[in-house]
Amino acid sequence: MILSSERETAKAAFLEAHGFGDVRRQPLGGDASTRSYERLRRRDQSFIFMDQPPSVETAPCPPDATPEQRAALGYNALARLAAGRVDAFVACAGWLNAQGLSAPKVLAADASAGLAVLEDLGDDLYARLIETGTDEAPLYDAAIDGLLAIHAAPVPDVLSFDGSTWPLLTYDDLALKTAHDIFVEWQPKFRDLAFDNAARAEWEAIWAPIRAKGEAGATVFCHRDYHAENLIWLPERKGPARVGMLDFQDAVLAHPAWDLSMLLHDARRTVSPEREAACLERYLAARPGLDRTAFLADYHALGALNIIRILGIFARLVTRDSKPRYADFIPRLWVYLDVCFADPALADLKAWFDQYVPVEARR
């Protein structure tokens, strides 16, 4: 990793070279990633400065990598994450903006240095607005309309914008397996559980057909982190462009239920059953060609996988990375999971949890 003083020199040189040498710099709060952000100010203008040191993440997944090669490269390749790559952000932002949506416009970028200056979409995150009393209904309606716009758009195998290209890889069987296996790896360290070989064999047998449906249904651009902390309300814009979208650089080709789960199984704020039902109804009403029953079954199954993935990630953040605040979000995820378990098609998965994860560990 580049030392802080060297990194700061590189950042200052980048800003000077791209016409931002005269700005005032204000650090912004971080997230669970290895990125950092600053707000740049020049008179009445503001911009966002993104810093993703290129050497702090394991490599992303090459499009033609075998499962063995992905395992050797590490977690990002297994999960088909972008490893924070700036060229992924630039290419995805360009594609979203080309669909008439609102991703930050990229004003300057150096992918090899891991630096970019972005349009500043403001501070009106969905989560903060709703906390202060804004009616959530129009915000969530617009978020669903944003997903409908994304899901209606044909997607190329490779995204390209302003000299940056990035492959839109499928959220495939191995990536989905990596997602749910985080739980059995890290939850025992968080809640003093033990999963023996028999439990793990049952786990795999339950998930295999769900993964097959997830991969077979991978037909749309998937933002992959589409929730209230990554959506900005832009009421002066029109239609789905009112939804400012952030943190989409890990996009993949995935089942359309995935981003619905990210939105409606939000780890950081409670989405009520009534809001969830209204959003699903809005989505399904706009896509009358979908088999409603089959789609909702996939939503519950892949939603359960997604929730379990997040439970595993938060357990890892708490135990390995010493970030205890993520434990506060965990009880909400168990509530969402119980709702998914109400689907009779997930009876085997529910039974597995009933046998191996005591109720007192679900907190």
pLDDT tens sequence across 222-274: 999 999 999 999 999 999 999 999 999 999 999 999 999 999 999 999 999 99
% of the chain surpassing 70 pLDDT: 98
CB 229 within 8 A of CB 125: yes
CB 53 within 8 A of CB 7: yes
Predicted local distance difference test score (pLDDT) of residue 280: 98
How does residue 30 score in pLDDT terms, banded at 50, 70 and 90?
low
Predicted local distance difference test score (pLDDT) of residue 190: 96
Q: Structure tokens of 270?
A: 């409670």
How far apart CA 119 and CA 241 sit, in angstroms, is 15
pLDDT exceeds 70 at position 14: yes
How far apart CA 218 and CA 335 sit, in angstroms, is 27
Predicted local distance difference test score (pLDDT) of residue 33: 67
Mean pLDDT of 201-226: 98
Q: Structure tokens of 104?
A: 């930050």
Q: Structure tokens of 16?
A: 């000077």
pLDDT exceeds 90 at position 35: no
pLDDT exceeds 80 at position 31: no
Count of beta carbons in the 10 Å neighbourhood of residue 292: 13
Tens of pLDDT, residue by residue over 274-319, are: 999 999 999 999 999 999 999 999 999 999 999 999 999 999 999 9
How does residue 29 score in pLDDT terms, banded at 50, 70 and 90?
confident
Burial 302-319 (b: 16+ CB within 10 A, else e): bbbbbbbbbbbbbbbbbb
pLDDT exceeds 70 at position 116: yes
Mean pLDDT of 138-159: 97
In degrees to the nearest 10, what's the CA dihedral of 216, 78, 151, 213?
Answer: 20
Mean pLDDT of 27-47: 86
Q: Structure tokens of 268?
A: 């950081």
Predicted local distance difference test score (pLDDT) of residue 173: 98
Predicted local distance difference test score (pLDDT) of residue 56: 79
How far apart CA 354 and CA 359 sit, in angstroms, is 8
3-state secondary structure the chain: CCCHHHHHHHHHHHHHHCCCCCCEEEECCCCCCCCEEEEEEECCEEEEEEECCCCCCCCCCCCCCCHHHHHHHCHHHHHCCCCCCHHHHHHHHHHHHHCCCECCCEEEEECCCCEEEEECCCCCEHHHHHHCCCCHHHHHHHHHHHHHHHHHCCCCCEEEECCEEEECCECCHHHHHHHHHHHHHHHHHHHCCCCCHHHHHHHHHHHHHHHHHHHHCCCEEECCCCCCCCEEECCCCCHHHHEEECCCCCCEEECCHHHHHHHHCCCCCCCCHHHHHHHHHHHHHHCCCCCHHHHHHHHHHHHHHHHHHHHHHHHHHHHCCCCHHHHHHHHHHHHHHHHHHCCHHHHHHHHHHHHHCCHHHCC
Residue 119 pairs with which residues in a beta bridge? 47
pLDDT exceeds 90 at position 54: no
Indicate whether this model's pTM tops 0.75: yes
CB 230 within 8 A of CB 102: no
pLDDT exceeds 50 at position 2: no
- Average the pLDDT over each of 18-32, 213-227, 344-358 and give the range with the smallest value: 18-32
Burial 139-162 (b: 16+ CB within 10 A, else e): bbebbbbbbbbbbeeebeeebebe
Q: What is the mean pLDDT of the chain?
A: 95
Looking at per-residue confidence, does 30 or 133 come out higher? Answer: 133
pLDDT exceeds 70 at position 349: yes
